[in-house]
Structure 1
Amino acid sequence: MSDSRLVVLRDLLSLSQQEFASRIGITQGALSQLESQKSKLSLDSLLKINRVFGVDCNWLVTGEGDIFYQPDKREPQPMDNHLGMTREGYIPLVRGEAHAGYIENYLDEKYLDTLEVYKIPGYEAGGYRLFEVEGDSMVPSIYPGEIVVTERLPDLLAIENGALCIVVAEEGIVAKRTYIYEEDRNMLILKSDNPDYKTYSIPMDSVREVWRVRAKITNVFVQPQVVDASRLKELEADIMTLKQEMSRLSADKSSTSSTAE
């Protein structure tokens, strides 16, 4: 995101750096880093700016479109045929704390209209929904707190084996690899990418919806593994021991050769 957009926004709102930063829950120093392009805007801050100031996420990310929601966009948008797409191309977001309520009300348009909606570049047309992922069962593909952009699969029996999906079922909302065994098409097999979690199955008639993951929005950046100082000392000691052993074997070999002569 261009730093100028944050500056433009703050000027339009007539807010100081301190005032703007306080409203979105970051420090003035952090905002200064963002405006000077020394750091990138996190997903949490992006969504906070969207909610607090009514700023269009599409403009924040790409600089395209209106800066602020137009009056007719500030009201909840009606859903089109329960495909997860609003008339204006905004996508509903199901947050982690809303999972239980969503399972109970996923067919209730009045409930769906209460969900936050966002416009995601590249996903303006189609049947999409955003889900916030809980738990670490899909690490390293999806980390806790990440938001996935999904497309609804209307035919559950046409699920591609191994597809990464959000499964909405009586038991809960989970992100899993999905499989259907030809021998028993009444069961849906759910597999985690994290090997610490076991594969399990649920009855197909308990499944409410399946949404195929198409993309994700993340503020999780995996750091390269760092070898600490104590580990480095251990490695150096191991190398020294190996060198000493190689020298001893070489000396023994030379001594044996001299004796043989």
Structure 2
Amino acid sequence: MKDADSEVEKMPAVVYRIQEMMSHYNLNTNSMAKELGYTATSKLYGIMGGSAPSFGTLTDILDKWPEVSSDWLVLGRGPMLRSAGGAATPAAPAPKAPTALSRSVVNNGGVLVVTVDKDGEDNVEMVPVAAQAGYATQHNEAVFVQDLPRYRLPGFERGKFRAFEVAGDSMEPTLNHRDIVVCSLVDNWRLLVPDDMYVVVTDESVMLKRIRVRIEDRNGEVILHSDNPHRRPYPLDCADITELWRVRGYISTYLPSTPDVTVERLWEVIEALGFDRAEVRRHLDENAPNSTPIS
């Protein structure tokens, strides 16, 4: 995974000024592209990912928002806005890049927008069920990500983590509806750990599934598995995946009651049926799901 701070240092300063301007006008990449009359958002996505804007793009922005100071946008001099008479109007100073409210890092060929605290440390953004439909289409929009609840969680301080609220029963009995999974970003899909749980983000949905085989080809398919035996596995085109997050922990209000008593009672029944406990354990170990990649 690339170091986020190094990405921040390499990003042109004009990109931060465009982000500040977008925040001032309450714009995201899609809405700004529409305002500028662009039929595609790829140009602005490239800028948000750290590419310096072309002269034509800067001219388009200044034509659309003439109150924005060209000295500020291009050179970083003076305030952002001009007054009605052409003089500069004081505006809030732009934050320094390392301590910006949001920043973009490279994610497996895409863009990941993250938020940071006042010390420049990454937050853990929480994506509740109600926000997941929007997250599927706006996960790389700075304005959208900034509006998500943000936390600092013990044990999740080093690295990029994001939390997702569980919806539905597809991962029961492992996880329950309204549990919260804390995930780390998978920026190299070849390092996917087989048989682990992942939050799979596409343009249409946010899904919590188990992936049993590494993704070797973005043009291939991946099979998504549920822990609920009543839910069948189904294939997904890898090209449809926009983000992949590995589950590293979870928060739950569900507390199982006396699980040891239940397990011990099960062993009593097994022995009462005449089976040897050690033999049953050996059989379970030998028939456990294979976690190695399938060639």
TM-score between both structures, scaled by the size of structure 2: 0.47
| CA spacing shift, 1:182–1:157, aligned 2, 3 Å | closer
Give the Cα–Cα distance (whole angstroms) in 1 for the partners of residues 113 and 247 of structure 2. 14
Q: Contact 1:96–1:132 at 8 Å: present in 2 too?
A: yes
SS at match of 2:199: strand
Aligned 1:199-238 pairs, distance under 5 A: 199-223=233-257
What residue number does 2:188 align with? Answer: 155
Is the 8 Å Cα contact of residues 181 and 250 (structure 2) preserved in structure 1?
Answer: yes
> 2:212 — aligned with what?
179
Determine which of 163, 172, 188 is the counterpart of 1:139: 172
Query: Are residues 77 and 141 of structure 1, via their aligned partners in 2, closer, same or farther at CA, if it must alter by over 3 Å?
Result: farther
Are the counterparts in 2 of residues 83 and 127 from structure 1 also a CA contact under 8 Å? Answer: no
The structure that has the greater radius of gyration is 1
CA deviation after TM superposition for structure 1 residue 83, in Å: 6.5
Aligned equivalents of 1:191, 1:173: Cα separation in 2? 14
Alignment match, 2:101 = 77
Q: Is structure 2 residue 167 aligned with structure 1 residue 120? A: no
Give the conservation status (yes or no) of the 8 Å contact 1:85–1:128.
Answer: no
Q: 2-side partners of 1:181 and 1:93: how far apart? A: 26
Superposed CA deviations along residues 187-221 of structure 1, whole A, max 9, x for unmatched, are: 01100111011011110111111100001011112
TM-score between the two structures when normalised by the length of structure 1: 0.53
Matches of 2:231 and 2:140, distance apart in 1: 31
The residue that corresponds to 1:166 in the other structure is 199
Give RMSD over aligned pairs: 2.5
Equivalenced residue count is 151
| Aligned-pair CA distance for 1:111 | 1.4
Note closer, same or farther for the CA distance 1:92–1:184 as it changes in structure 2 (3 Å cut): closer
2:205 maps to amino acid: G
CA gap of 1:181–1:124, structure 2 versus 1, over 3 A, is closer
Alignment partner, residue 137 of structure 2 = 104
Deviations 1:7-26 (A, max 9, x none): xxxxxxxxxxxxxxxxxxxx
Q: How far apart, CA to CA, are the structure 2 residues paired with 1:111 and 1:149? A: 19
CA contact (8 A) 2:197 2:210 kept: yes
Equivalent residues of 1:83, 1:128 under 8 A apart:
no
Which residue identity lines up with residue 197 of structure 1 in the other structure? R
Deviation string 1:140-179 (CA, Å, 9 cap, x unpaired) is 2211101111001012243222111111123411111113
Tell me: CA distance 1:96–1:182, structure 2 relative to 1, closer, same or farther (3 Å). closer
- 2:222 matched to 1:198? no
How far apart, in 2, do the equivalents of 1:85 and 1:142 lie?
Answer: 27
Contact 1:148/1:216 (<8 A) preserved: yes
- Residue of structure 1 equivalent to 2:46: none
Unaligned stretches of 5+ residues in structure 2:
1-94, 106-111, 260-295
How far 1:90 moved relative to its partner? Answer: 2.1
Name the structure 2 match of 1:15.
Answer: none
